[in-house]
Amino acid sequence: MAASTTIKIRASKRVRDLIDRGAAAAHKSRSAFVLDAGATAAQNVLLDQTCFALSPTQIAEFERIMNEPLSDNQGVSDLFASRAPWER
């Protein structure tokens, strides 16, 4: 997608240098790096704030499901019973 607008920001030299180092490590231009990071951060904030609407019937069903006891899952039980790789 071609850029169609300009975003101007001010930053301290320290922050600009940090961004430049990150951009170089990612093999991106400063602009591409900042746009990617900004878009990712914005998307994460918006996804965290996303809400969904349910009817009273749907809410009751959701709460019923959430309050059910968990069924046995042998794979999960085995996973939690084993030691973490860094503890071996």
Provide the residue-wise pLDDT of the chain in tens; the chain has 88 residues: 677 899 999 999 999 999 999 999 999 999 999 999 999 999 999 988 877 789 999 999 999 999 998 888 899 889 989 988 888 7
Record the tokens describing residue 5, joined without a space. 């607008």
Q: Looking at residue 1, what is its pLDDT?
A: 62
Q: Looking at residue 3, what is its pLDDT?
A: 77
3-state secondary structure 21-39: HHHHHCCCCHHHHHHHHHH
Q: Looking at residue 35, what is its pLDDT?
A: 96
Q: What is the pTM of this model?
A: 0.56
